A = this chain, B = another copy of it.
Amino acid sequence: MKVLVIGGNGRVGSLLVDKLAAQYQVVAGSRSPKPEKNLDNIEHSHIDLLSDIDTIAKSMKDVDVVYFVSGSRGKNLLQIDLHGAIKSMQAAEKVGVKRYIMLSSIFALQPERWKESFLSDLTDYNIAKHYADLYLTTQTQLDYTILQPGALKEEQGTGKIETNVVNPGSNSIANVVDTLVAILENHSTIGKVILMHDGDTPIIEALHQIK
């Protein structure tokens, strides 16, 4: 199986590429690929989310799964986090990739909660993620899963999380990455929006508990 990670150079993406490479053929897609990391089962592909759908689609040749873990960190929300994300969905549909796993943000689909906690400073970001998630769930036929963690932290992973969460909580990047990997292996996550934070439940079990 061949897996494309869009945003493969980011702090989530680079770890995700490494973890996925233990089991799959991985394409690390980013605007500035790092060719020095060329391993047998990791290839690099130039993906510029500012380019058009057909150009983005070229990186999806023979790909079975697309992960979207890219982001502009607030620098180009309209063109990258919103429209760039949606162009990658349209590219996936165009070339016939069915499985699409999106890293989103907690409450991205619940605007009524955007004034809570750390989210109150992130309204522009939430709007971009909101309409990307909304497009994925309503305007595509993709087999999507949307993962919505709260704040990401550079902490050691514990392998334990909670799903179905009702309040924001912090997330080690390693736990988020392990959850993204586990989502691919659990078909029951297809069509689901998963709210998560670090917790006490082993990741696989937490995914089985999704409502």
A residues near B (Cβ < 8 Å) are: 52, 77-79, 82-83, 111-112, 123-124, 127-128, 130-131, 134-135, 138-139
Contact = CB atoms under 8 A, between A and B. Distances in A.
A116 to B, nearest CB: 13
A199 to B, nearest CB: 31
Contact of A82 (B52, B127, B139): B127
B139 A78 contact: no
19 contacts: A52-B112, A77-B78, A78-B78, A78-B123, A78-B124, A78-B127, A78-B128, A79-B123, A79-B124, A79-B127, A82-B127, A82-B131, A83-B127, A83-B130, A131-B131, A131-B135, A134-B135, A134-B139, A138-B138
A41 B134 CA distance: 40
Given A78-B127, A134-B135, 9 more contacts: A78-B123, A78-B124, A78-B128, A79-B127, A82-B127, A82-B131, A83-B127, A134-B139, A138-B138
A94 to B, nearest CB: 13
A157 B198 CA distance: 62
A83 to B, nearest CB: 5
A112 B77 CA distance: 20
A135 B134 CA distance: 10
| Cβ-closest 6 pairs across A and B | A78-B127, A83-B127, A78-B124, A131-B131, A79-B123, A77-B78
Contacts of A130: 83
